[in-house]
């Protein structure tokens, strides 16, 4: 393929969520970029200079002077470098749901021209870009891969809510469907990624590298979750054990907890799906997933035991769950496992209220049918579960949190928000 100057690149970013918007903003500081999303409300919000994901500030949006937001497919036609950043979730049976990726490929295929490059950033299993996306692009456009158009894969590494590890200072993996396409993709990303790029030998290698990053974290968290269950039976404080073990230079600092979000709680299922397609049963990965998926139930069991010990009857009790987002100091509620706690307690007859100063109430109701409580009432709750370590909860401290409970009540700390001894139980 010809290798025109980077200045000739006209970029379109398809999907303006946690991954796509920071990309569009960084590229939009340097040259013309079209930011496309199918959600009109999202486009209106961004045009007004506001980002509800909090990944970009109003000042950063203003600095992207060459960035144009649109819902119109026709606005993509003048572009020649398409970056697809749509979600890749799992369905209710924990199988990869590629519908957003397929729909995005249909959209791009409808405007694809000779010489164009399509780069995917969405997390997929090894082979998905060339086996699933490429045929859609060919069929929709009437063009032929690696003759008329080219592919790239550059996996996203965005960590929602993290203001230290940002797009520009995280090394970027890049790859292409031909060596020339790979160099072209690398050249484009190098204009914004100050930390540099790593050129993978193939798209499949880049896909596999991405999916194992979070699979590794998932398995490690599953290990400490299992250890927390063991230490509880042994009457040992898990945090004390991990702190002591952490004095060794190569001990990995993982902590127990709920594992949700759009990456760690999802990506392993993409890898195991592909593994099973080729006749391989990934026992350790699936075992880790089972452990982490059941942590909500384990937390409820611990809380019920504590309530029973205080002669608090669970049916009819009032329970406050503090936190809904999948991680602290972040508004992202995708695949949050806090809902497992809420649903199980409600199934046992408890009246559960959820308070989260970071979550969008409308989104919580739309996604999970939860009506968030803006101000928990003092001396109201039989049990309080600190599920997310938001800075607001840390600042409250044990005394103010305790003031929300009746006498007697149970305070359970899932995320080590409070010092040891300040709660009635923790993982």
- Which of the residues are catalytic? 263
Residue 200 and residue 194 in contact, taking contact as beta carbons nearer than 8 Å? no
Alpha-carbon separation of residue 46 from 38, 51, 407 (angstroms): 13, 6, 47
Residue 182 and residue 188 in contact, taking contact as beta carbons nearer than 8 Å? no
Alpha-carbon separation of residue 39 from 11, 35, 101, 344, 407 (angstroms): 20, 12, 15, 33, 47
For residue 25, give the nearest of 52, 53, 54, 65 by alpha carbon. Answer: 65
Alpha-carbon separation of residue 175 from 11, 12, 14, 270 (angstroms): 17, 18, 19, 20
- Judged on CB neighbours under 10 Å (0-12, 13-18, 19+), 134 is buried
Q: Hey, how many other C-beta atoms are within 10 angstroms of the C-beta on 420?
A: 11
Q: Is there a cis peptide before residue 408, judged by omega within 30 degrees of 0?
A: yes
């Amino acid at each position: 393929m010809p290798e025109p100057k980077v200045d000739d690149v006209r970029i379109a970013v398809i999907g303006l969520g946690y991954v796509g918007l920071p990309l569009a903003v960084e590229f939009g500081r340097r040259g013309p970029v079209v930011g496309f999303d199918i959600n009109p409300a999202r486009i209106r919000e961004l045009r007004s200079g506001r980002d509800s994901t909090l990944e970009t500030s109003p000042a950063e949006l203003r600095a992207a002077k060459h960035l144009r937001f649109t819902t119109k497919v026709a606005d993509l036609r003048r572009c020649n470098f398409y970056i697809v950043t749509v979600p890749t979730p799992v369905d209710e049976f924990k199988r990869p749901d590629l519908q957003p990726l397929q729909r995005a490929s249909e959209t791009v295929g409808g405007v694809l021209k000779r010489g164009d490059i399509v780069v995917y950033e969405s997390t997929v299993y090894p082979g998905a870009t060339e086996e699933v996306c490429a045929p859609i692009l060919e069929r929709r456009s009437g063009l032929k891969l690696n003759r008329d158009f080219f592919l790239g894969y550059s996996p996203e590494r965005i960590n929602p809510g993290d203001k230290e590890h940002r797009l520009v200072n995280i090394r970027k993996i890049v790859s292409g469907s031909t060596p020339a396409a790979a160099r072209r993709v690398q050249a484009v990303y190098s204009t914004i990624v100050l930390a540099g790029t790593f050129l993978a030998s193939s798209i499949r290698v880049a896909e596999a590298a991405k999916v194992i990053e979070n699979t590794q974290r998932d398995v490690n968290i599953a290990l400490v979750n299992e250890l927390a269950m063991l230490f509880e039976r042994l009457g040992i404080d898990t945090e004390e054990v991990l702190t002591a073990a952490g004095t060794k230079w190569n001990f990995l600092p993982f902590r127990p907890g709920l594992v949700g979000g759009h990456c760690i709680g999802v990506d392993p299922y993409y890898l195991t799906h592909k593994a099973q397609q080729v006749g391989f049963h990934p026992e350790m990965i699936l075992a880790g997933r089972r452990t982490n998926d059941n942590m909500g139930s384990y937390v409820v069991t611990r809380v019920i035991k504590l309530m029973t010990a205080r002669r608090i009857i669970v049916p009819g009790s009032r329970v406050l769950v503090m936190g809904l987002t999948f991680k602290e100091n972040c508004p992202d509620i995708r695949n949050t496992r806090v809902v497992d706690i809420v649903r199980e307690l409600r199934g046992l007859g408890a009246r559960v209220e959820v308070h989260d100063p970071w979550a969008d109430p409308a989104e919580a109701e739309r996604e999970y049918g939860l009506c968030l409580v803006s101000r928990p009432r003092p001396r109201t709750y039989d049990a309080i579960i600190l599920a997310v370590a938001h800075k607001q909860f840390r600042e409250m401290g044990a005394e103010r949190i305790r003031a929300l409970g009746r006498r007697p009540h149970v305070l359970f700390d899932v995320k080590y928000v409070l010092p040891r001894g300040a709660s009635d139980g923790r993982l």
